[in-house]
Structure 1
Amino acid sequence: MAYIFAQGSKKCSNLLFLLRSNITSPYSCSRSSSVSSVTLAEKEANIKKSILISQSKDIYTNLALEDWLYKNYDFTKQHVLLVWRNSPCVVVGRHQNPWLEASAEYLLNYEVSVARRNSGGGAVYHDPGNVNFTFFTNKEMYNRRNNLEIISRALYREWGISADINTREDIVIKKNYKVSGTASKLGSKNAYHHCTLMVDVDRCQLSQALKKNIVGVDTNATKSIPSPVLNLNDVNSSVTVEKLLGAVGWEYLRTTPLTMQDAGHDFISQQNGFQLVNPTEGWFPGVEKLRNEFASWDWRFGKTPDFQVTRKFYIPEELKITITVNKGIIENVTLKVPQKLILAHGFNGNASVITNLKGQQFSVAAIRYLEKSVINLEKSYREASEELNFESAFVANESGFFLKEMSKSSG
């Protein structure tokens, strides 16, 4: 099915007028008292639908565009479907730990970006073979299952693909193969539901990017639930990103916004149709500032819920070193001294490690640094005489950390 994009300066001007005329303000938002006085049919007839297609493939720009619309638009009488795609990236949920959800080294080596979105849910991998859909409504009309039904209808209408919506509101095919993950954000007035749809994603890179390499983490951060995945073009080779965009777009436009009826082509002709948008300052004033915020370290990593990473070493008894991280910054490094060393040398049970890691941004390199330090400590221990002063072995450690409050007890 073919579809047409509105382009050119005149059309762009029309869209900008449409956007600006629906900017929220204390004086333009609809009041609930007036809404309740109209029938459902009248209410539905007053709602128009638009599809905006981002021309950017930068994850931070697209997240900024999504946030701009959410914060600035009045969706009472104008529902919007935003369609966007990204270059390779991993996007974690609002309350997740990116170090726990993805392979930091792989992402760095293969130049895969890391982003944090405003909605909850689990971590996802994006590349140009994945299409993202964001359904905007006001809070009152939010219904993400209806949105997923539109996508399912489109898949069946265009390609005969039977898709189900599971209890977690993911779209699955062949009973348990996930092709779409879902998340949402609800505010006092507006809401959005966004979801992925895998068409031709590099599943090998997806698997490597989302591989969890860090163990021994204690955190309350939301953890992703792994699921088997499948590309739509593995089910039907004729599915392409471009065709999918058209199929879902037309299904969205022909479906009534509240009663979910298939109103056909006549209804489509009454809607605002498709529009390519360029997420720049000229179109969306303030979007660049939002983009910088989404790309910042403070947002991507600093918003990580507090966590601790513990490592065990044997030199020759078990030592436990724990890194405490607050807002992405290493707050403390502690070491638990084995019981035998406590009894033999009168040490306290726990010691605070003095290291230049404190106050630094957490990274996998920090764990490697401590691992190297302990290896050097083990070397010092083995090279010492039978009358080893265990405390001095820490102080002499060449990797630059030692212990305080580890003096022998007076008793």
Structure 2
Amino acid sequence: MFLPTRLIVIARRCLPRLDSIGVARHASTYKTTYTKRNEGVDSIKKSVFMSQSTNVFVNLALEHWLYRNFNFSNHHVLLCYINDPCVVFGRHQNPWLECNVHAAEKEGIALVRRNSGGGTVYHDKGNLNLTFFSRRDRYNRNYNLKIITNTLLRHWDLNSEINKRDDIIVDGDYKVSGSAAKLGMSNAYHHCTLLVKVNKANLNSILEKKENGIVTNATTSTHSAIMNLSDINPNIHMKKLIACIGWEYMRTKALVCEDGEYDFVQQQKGFQYINPNEHWFPGINQFINDFGSWDWNYGKTPKFTITRTFDVSTNDDKIHRLNLNLEIENGIVEGIRMNLPAGLVSTSDQDVSVISNLRGTRYNHEVTEKIISEIGKIVTLNTIQSIDENNVRRFDEATLQ
């Protein structure tokens, strides 16, 4: 995907220039007087931007920069990019519910929250990301997906369908693409993945949920059987696919899925390799920092609770079942509550302080395990004289102190 320096310079010259306030403009986009959806359709130009970065934080920042700053009045854009291994979840999702956060972090796989809704996806260099930008009143997800399905049919004689969830499916019900979108006051984008040759073993293991007992109103993903395009036709590879989709995008009229005339194709802006850095896109570094921050990726998680039930034994050789409840808000442990059998209290201030001091800390998988371990120590040190199974007292950290 990376071009020699000389070619990058040439490609850069083809980019719209940046004005003093960081808004990308092209001579054809200065016309801003329009009143109807189809006014000036023939003058709409199209470009295919190809990011030179494989960093998910950088590419999401580039996507957000274009959404915020580019003028799509008479210039529609298709952005293509490929990421290093990462997990991308929707704006309103809970990462601990959607994937194996602990395993991903251990493997050095980035986890990031995107600005659009939808479900969680795994990316690696076998996955192509496509973002279709337009004015809000010209947003058309079906049009965009047909660019892809038409490409697969035209170049590889591969029949694919768009289902009711706006997934692209093949061979009956195998998913090769999923979608999400961001709709603003004036601009909009629809982005989708396309499974070309993804490591399915990694995908399945990382997207396997490990946290149990989570209760939340967060959006949950719909799991589907998947297939790589290369599994269907080994001649489908990334570079050719990008070229073919880009060509299909530029040859298709701006608002209807019809081939344009030769003159129409010649008028398009073509392929442009772009380098998403501060020099090219002033202000993008702040977006990169935002997408990489804990506050965004975990702190924006909708409020949730975790309930864990576990057995402990006391010195009198009795087994007792305990319930632990954690309340998490903005990714922070705000409450720790336990249901304990009557008569079970702590005689160790140190043990109790371990539990109470975790309140106000950032949640992760180890927090729950640490609390369970400490409770086990407390119970082991205390022999319960008598237990009424129907009489369970509720303790929070304040009660235990």
Question: TM-score under structure 2 normalisation?
Answer: 0.87
The answer as to whether partners of 1:335 and 1:353 remain within 8 angstroms in 2 is: no
Residue 262 (str. 1) matches residue 259 (str. 2):
yes
Q: Show structure 1 runs of 5+ residues with no match.
A: 346-350, 389-400
Q: 1:56 to 1:179 in 2, by over 3 A?
A: same
Distance 1:11 1:214 in 2: 46
Residue 405 (str. 1) matches residue 387 (str. 2):
no
Q: 1:356 to 1:385 in 2, by over 3 A?
A: closer
The answer as to whether partners of 1:352 and 1:405 remain within 8 angstroms in 2 is: no
Residue 131 (str. 1) matches residue 128 (str. 2):
yes
Cα deviation digits, residues 52-72 of structure 1 (max 9, x gap): 000000000000000000000
SS in structure 2 at match of 1:247: helix
Q: Give the corresponding residue for 1:15.
A: 15
Q: 1:404 to 1:30 in 2, by over 3 A?
A: same
Letter in 1 for 2:284: V
The CA deviation at 1:9 is: 3.0
Q: Give the corresponding residue for 2:377.
A: 376
Cα deviation digits, residues 190-212 of structure 1 (max 9, x gap): 00000000000000000011000
Distance 1:133 1:259 in 2: 19
Aligned pair partner of 1:62 in 32, 56, 59: 59
Q: Give the corresponding residue for 2:233.
A: 236
SS in structure 2 at match of 1:213: coil
Q: 1:324 to 1:155 in 2, by over 3 A?
A: same
Distance 2:172 2:284 in 1: 40
Residue 291 (str. 1) matches residue 293 (str. 2):
no
The answer as to whether partners of 1:352 and 1:404 remain within 8 angstroms in 2 is: no
The CA deviation at 1:291 is: 0.2
> Quick check: 365-374 or 132-141, which moved more?
365-374
Q: Give the corresponding residue for 2:119.
A: 122
The CA deviation at 1:353 is: 9.2
The CA deviation at 1:180 is: 0.4
The CA deviation at 1:237 is: 0.5
> Quick check: 15-24 or 95-104, which moved more?
15-24
Q: Give the corresponding residue for 1:395.
A: none
Q: Give the corresponding residue for 1:332.
A: 335
Aligned pair partner of 2:151 in 150, 154, 158: 154
Letter in 2 for 1:156: L
Distance 1:57 1:282 in 2: 18
> Quick check: 257-266 or 236-245, which moved more?
257-266
The answer as to whether partners of 2:336 and 2:397 remain within 8 angstroms in 1 is: no
Q: 1:35 to 1:364 in 2, by over 3 A?
A: same
Q: 1:319 to 1:106 in 2, by over 3 A?
A: same
> Quick check: 357-366 or 104-113, which moved more?
104-113
The CA deviation at 1:352 is: 12
Q: Give the corresponding residue for 2:366.
A: 365
Letter in 2 for 1:374: I
SS in structure 1 at match of 2:322: strand
Aligned pair partner of 2:32 in 30, 33, 36: 30
Q: Show structure 2 runs of 5+ residues with no match.
A: 313-318, 346-351, 388-394
> Quick check: 304-313 or 264-273, which moved more?
264-273
Q: 1:166 to 1:387 in 2, by over 3 A?
A: closer
Q: 1:265 to 1:110 in 2, by over 3 A?
A: farther
Letter in 2 for 1:298: D
Distance 2:146 2:69 in 1: 27
Number of residue pairs matched by the alignment: 374
Distance 1:250 1:293 in 2: 33
The answer as to whether partners of 2:93 and 2:302 remain within 8 angstroms in 1 is: yes
SS in structure 1 at match of 2:300: coil
The answer as to whether partners of 1:253 and 1:271 remain within 8 angstroms in 2 is: yes
The answer as to whether partners of 1:332 and 1:352 remain within 8 angstroms in 2 is: no
- % identical aligned pairs: 41
Distance 1:235 1:264 in 2: 32
Q: Give the corresponding residue for 1:201.
A: 198
The CA deviation at 1:106 is: 1.3
Q: Give the corresponding residue for 2:315.
A: none
The CA deviation at 1:28 is: 5.9
Q: 1:178 to 1:82 in 2, by over 3 A?
A: same
Distance 2:58 2:397 in 1: 46
Distance 1:22 1:187 in 2: 18
Letter in 2 for 1:214: E
Cα deviation digits, residues 18-43 of structure 1 (max 9, x gap): 8877559xx96734xx333x9x4x62
Letter in 2 for 1:368: E
Distance 1:301 1:119 in 2: 15
